[in-house]
Amino acid sequence: MKKLVLATALAALSAVAANAQDTVRIATEGLYPPYNLVNDAGKLDGYEIDLGTEICKRAALTCEFVQNDWDSMMPNLNSGNFDVIMAGMSITEERKADRLFTQNYYPPAISLYVAATADVDLTSSVIAAQTATIQASHVAESGAQLLEFKTPDETVAAVRNGEADAVLADSEFLDPIVAQSNGELVVVDKVQLGGGVGAAFRQSDTELAAKFDKAIGEMKADGTINTLITKWFKDKAVLF
Amino acid sequence: MYPQCADPAALHGLGWLLCYLTSGKHMLFYYSFGTVLILLAITAPVALAFGFGGAMAARAHNRALSLFGKAYMLMVRGIPDIIFFMFFVIALDQGLETVLHHIRCPDWTDPIRTGLEFKVCPLAKIPPNSAPQIWHQIYGFGLAVVTFAIVFGAFAANVLYGAMNAVPRAQLETAEAYGLSQRQISRRILVPQMWVYALPGLSNLWLILIKATPLLFLLGVNDIVYWAQELGGSKTDSYAYPHGDWRLWYFLFLLFFYLAFTRVSEIALGRLTAKLSRGQATMAGEAMRKAAA
């Protein structure tokens, strides 16, 4: 009986529009404005969502954005629960070893060290960064004590409540926070990390990755990508 | 939501707050309370059933069955929850898809596994890629229920196993002397009496289960703690309602929710204990008998 119910449920689930054209599922984190965020209507929004929608239109693909926890992105991608990651993921040599990247759709990011006071010694203090990001590995290599958090928001909160001396994160994310902090937070230093932000694919999905890569190339050539970057990053935008 | 909320930047004071608290995102926050309650309502009885099955298996005379029951209790209780929730769920998902793959695509020649990748034919995906996101969420929720039930079932099995052993042996021997079969003994003597011993342990488990729902986020289901964190975090002007770090208020709200929920549970469990203690050969049962006499 149990097996029968299970089998029926599975059949029902997998029969839903099984004949329709296969949807490309794009995963994002929804916690990293302006790259990706959940807007006040409760929907995914941000630069990557606009960009992904435009790429899919140009490549004639049916796409759907889904939200996924940052930590379980790679296991879920490899397990086929979605097909693309567009979540502010920087292109690095280390990451290229286990996934395919398109060309970057955001230029190499400038990362900022932000602290409550400007006189923080960045080589010996406690620095907050999000787990498994290029900033986290940079802090680990710099000799400072790394304090990792699951979400970008928590890294900033750690500096505000004194748990960490400084935070290292993308400038696009930190700039508006610093600007709107009434002088509570200041920029201490800048570093340029990674090879820009790109979309990530399973290593065997060369065909799909090529379609995305081509559309991004076209958008760079005709300037649409700069329009989108300006829309979301406003005066802090780094253009191609 | 309401027409006067169309332009949040023009609002201030109470009007702003009302519009803020009724934004689409807040609605999802309120719905997530429902998600959590539904999860608990389904998981608790299923976990109890798993626990009962595990305890009965561990007590069985059949050696293989007894070993299986004991192994289930030991292994699942020993594995950290977070590992169980990250790897077991993916393994379960891949297992189901592999089975479906062999049924639906017998002619498929590509290997299912290449390196880290797991790839079945499109027909074997559960749910298929083209299904609306809601089906993916329902599937994720289903996996969550099964995983929660297996984990908490193991703990419940241990509690019930202990409770069954706590029923005085003399009672069971008397039943045997009257010529009752093993089945009758377990149904009429053992099980009705063990609940009162199991209840303290089970009520602990229930309270832990109530607080374990943030593990849902690992499975792609957004629960109340996720939303409290997301809504409370400071918001820049990328959002319609910019504000500072309000997590304290959201978590205070959750604190009251959890306190109220556990208080209600305690009252209900207290009544249940009183009911089950009546006529039992325990201190509580004895006290009741004396009070009545």
Task: Render pLDDT for B36-47 as a digit per residue (tens, 0 to 9).
Answer: 898 899 999 999
Q: Which residue of B has its CA nearest to A153?
A: B233
Q: Which residue of B has its CA nearest to A78?
A: B117
- What are the backbone dihedrals phi and psi of residue B12, each rounded to the nearest 5 degrees, phi first? -155, 165
**One-letter identity of residue B68:** F
Q: What is the pLDDT of residue A19?
A: 38
Find chain B residues with C-beta within 8 A of A203's C-beta: 115, 117
Please give the Cα distance from B153 to B159 (Å, whole number): 10
By the 10 Å C-beta count (0-12 exposed, 13-18 middle, 19+ buried), A192 is classed as: exposed
ipTM of the predicted assembly exceeds 0.90: no
Is the link from the previous residue into A34 a cis peptide, with omega within 30 of 0? Answer: yes
What are the per-10-residue average pLDDT scores of chain A (240 residues)? 56 46 86 88 91 94 89 87 92 89 89 90 90 89 90 91 92 88 89 88 92 94 92 82
Provide the shortest C-alpha distance from residue B46 to chain A (in Å).
13
SS3 A26: strand
Token readout for A162 is: 């004194």
Return the residue in B1, B100, B116 with the most chain A beta carbons within 10 A, the one to mutate for interface testing: B116
B residues 141-160 closer than 8 Å to A (CB): 142
Contact A10 B96 (CB under 8 A): yes
Question: What residues pair up with B113 in beta bridges, in sequence order?
Answer: B118
Return the residue in A13, A76, A156 with the most chain B beta carbons within 10 A, the one to mutate for interface testing: A13
Token readout for A89 is: 């993921």
Token readout for A6 is: 């299970």
Contact B126 A41 (CB under 8 A): no
Contact A13 B139 (CB under 8 A): yes
For A76, what's the count of Cα atoms within 13 Å in the CB-facing half-sphere? 26
B111 interfaces chain A, CB cutoff of 8 Å? no
A residues 105-144 closer than 8 Å to B (CB): none
A residues 163-182 closer than 8 Å to B (CB): 176-177, 180
Which residues neighbour A175 within 8 Å (Cβ) at sequence distance 6 or greater?
Answer: A112, A236
Q: What is the pLDDT of residue B48?
A: 95
How is residue A72 annotated by DSSP?
Answer: T
Q: What is the pLDDT of residue A12?
A: 54
Token readout for B102 is: 């062999």
Q: Which residue of B has its CA nearest to A180?
A: B236
Q: What is the pLDDT of residue A4?
A: 56
A206 interfaces chain B, CB cutoff of 8 Å? no
Q: What is the pLDDT of residue A8?
A: 58
In chain B the beta strands, taken as DSSP E runs, fall at: 113-114, 117-118
**One-letter identity of residue A184:** E
Contact of A92 with A134, CB cutoff 8 Å: yes
Q: What is the pLDDT of residue B92?
A: 87
Describe the strand order of the beta sheet including A36-38 as a list of residue ranges: A31-32, A36-38, A44-45
How is residue B193 annotated by DSSP?
Answer: H
Q: What is the pLDDT of residue A17?
A: 39
pLDDT per residue rounded down to tens, chain B (293 residues): 567 777 777 777 788 888 888 888 899 899 999 988 988 999 999 999 999 999 999 998 899 999 999 999 998 888 887 788 777 888 888 888 888 888 888 888 888 887 778 888 888 888 887 788 888 888 888 888 888 899 999 999 999 999 999 998 999 999 999 999 988 999 999 998 899 999 999 999 998 888 887 777 777 678 888 888 888 888 877 788 888 889 899 999 999 999 999 899 999 999 998 888 887 777 777 888 888 77
**Of B233, B136, B185, B204, residue with least CA distance to A27:** B136
A202 interfaces chain B, CB cutoff of 8 Å? yes
Could you give the C-alpha distances from B41 to A139, A148, B38, B47, B265, in angstroms and in order?
45, 35, 5, 11, 13
Please give the Cα distance from B183 to B167 (Å, whole number): 16
Q: How many CB pairs under 8 A join A and B?
A: 132
Contact A75 B86 (CB under 8 A): yes
Find chain A residues with C-beta within 8 A of B239's C-beta: 33, 37, 39-40
Which of A66, A75, A177 minimises the CB distance to B90?
Answer: A75
Contact B100 A17 (CB under 8 A): no
Could you give the C-alpha distances from A233 to A52, B120, B233, in angstroms and in order?
16, 39, 20
Please give the Cα distance from B126 to B100 (Å, whole number): 9
**Of A93, A98, A87, residue with least CA distance to A170:** A87
Contact B233 A153 (CB under 8 A): yes
Scan for tokens 């070893």, then name that residue.
A97
Q: Which residue of A has its CA nearest to B244?
A: A181
Please give the Cα distance from B131 to A18 (Å, whole number): 8
Percent of chain B at pLDDT > 90 equals 35
